[in-house]
Amino acid sequence: MGVEPKKIIEVKNVRKIYRMGNEKIYAVDDISFDIYEGEFCCLLGSSGSGKSTLLNLMAGIEKLTSGQIIMKGQPIHKMNETRLARFRQKYLGFVFQSYNLIGTMTALENVELPLVFKRTPKKKRKTMAKEMLVKVGLKNRLQHKPKEMSGGQQQRVGIARAFVAKPSIVFADEPTGNLDTKTTMEVMNLIREIARDNHQTIVMVTHDQSLAEYADRVIRILDGKVQSIETIKEETNVEEENNGVVGDTADSNCVN
């Protein structure tokens, strides 16, 4: 990573308050941090810590109560629906925990979907989607419907869909939450590889400490606040150093 990395997401004093009857719930309470271009950033926190809300705020899916979120120099929190949609088309990709593939569409059509919304010409988007599916190792599954594939394969389709439009930022919300350990590793490596190849920024939300080691930086969230931000040392092979790193960085902080 360079000496002066470029900020791609700036989160400034962001608050999200839910009202439940007379009670105010500070789901995100005055959080500030930056995410740099090309980095793999992990928002780590237990369930209910506010990490998912934070991700939703960053992606413009939820409106924040106060503060600012600047993405690629543009204020996300001020955008209307249409501008947000166009921003998502251009710069954002999403990987979901439950894959969120459209059941009636084949793998190929699912991957094409973001390009369809973007009005990419038919031929071009077919080629792009195919390339992407080949890259995630689903060469033989192009015409399969989600139901005909395993969880790991579905998530690969999800990843292909997230990356197909070459977004600058990909948000991943518990991308391995429904997968077994082996598949988790495959999927995580896949995300990291693709992102690295294209110098894309990943923002991943997880409660699983063992996933944090795939990241360049881990931001721990607890009760709506940033507890710590840790930069993980540049390493070559995460799998090998697996146990050591996690043992060091993850204490009892996130046990909940």
Partner 1 sequence: MRISDLIKMGLRNLSRRKARTGLTVLGVIIGTISIVIMVSIGIGMNNSFDKQFMENGAMTVIRIEQYGSIIDDEGNWLGSKEQVLDDNLVDMVRQVDHVKAVAPVLDTSAMLYSGKYETYISLRAIGHEAFAEFGYPELISGAYPTAENNRSVVIPSYVLENYFYNPNSRNYETVAIDPKEDELIFKFNEWRYVRNERKKEFKLDLTNVAIMEESDNWEHNSYVYFDMDYYKEIYTQYANTLKLEDRKKAMAELDTYSYIMINVDNIKNVTQVQEDIEALGYVTYSEMQYLEPLKQTSDMLQMVLGAIGALAMMVSAINIANTMVMSIYERTKEIGIMKVLGCLVKDVKKLFLFEAAMIGLLGGIVGIALSYLASFAINKYGGPLFQTLMQSSGVYDVGDAKFSVIPFWLPFLASGFAMLIGVLAGYFPARRATKISAIEAMKTDS
HSE value, Cβ hemisphere, 13 Å, CA-based, for 224: 14
Instruction: Supply the minimum distance, in Å, between the C-beta of residue 98 and partner 1.
Output: 5
Cα torsion through 152, 133, 146, 52, rounded to 10: 60
Instruction: Supply the minimum distance, in Å, between the C-beta of residue 170 and partner 1.
Output: 12
Instruction: Name the residue nearer to partner 1 (CB basis): 89 or 253.
Output: 89
The binding site for partner 1 (CB under 8 A) comprises 52, 56, 59, 61-62, 81-82, 85-86, 88-90, 92, 94, 96-98, 100, 102, 104-105, 113-114, 116-119, 122, 161, 165, 173-174, 177
Instruction: Supply the minimum distance, in Å, between the C-beta of residue 116 and partner 1.
Output: 5
Instruction: Supply the minimum distance, in Å, between the C-beta of residue 85 and partner 1.
Output: 5
Instruction: Name the residue nearer to partner 1 (CB basis): 1 or 25.
Output: 25
Give Cα 126 distance to the centre of its chain: 24
Instruction: Supply the minimum distance, in Å, between the C-beta of residue 76 and partner 1.
Output: 13
151 forms bridges with which residues in the sheet?
none
Give Cα 245 distance to the centre of its chain: 22
Instruction: Name the residue nearer to partner 1 (CB basis): 137 or 177.
Output: 177
Q: How far is Cα 240 from Cα 109, in angstroms, rounded to an integer?
A: 37
Instruction: Supply the minimum distance, in Å, between the C-beta of residue 114 and partner 1.
Output: 5
Instruction: Name the residue nearer to partner 1 (CB basis): 76 or 250.
Output: 76
10 Å CB burial of residue 175 (0-12, 13-18, 19+) is: buried
Under 8 Å between Cβ of 231 and 33: no
Give Cα 151 distance to the centre of its chain: 18
Instruction: Name the residue nearer to partner 1 (CB basis): 40 or 91.
Output: 91
Q: What three-state secondary structure class fits 8?
A: strand
Q: For residue 36, how many other CB atoms are within 10 A of its CB?
A: 17
DSSP 233: P
Instruction: Name the residue nearer to partner 1 (CB basis): 98 or 243.
Output: 98
Under 8 Å between Cβ of 52 and 227: no
Instruction: Name the residue nearer to partner 1 (CB basis): 155 or 250.
Output: 155
Q: For residue 82, how many other CB atoms are within 10 A of its CB?
A: 8
Under 8 Å between Cβ of 68 and 10: yes
Instruction: Supply the minimum distance, in Å, between the C-beta of residue 227 and partner 1.
Output: 23
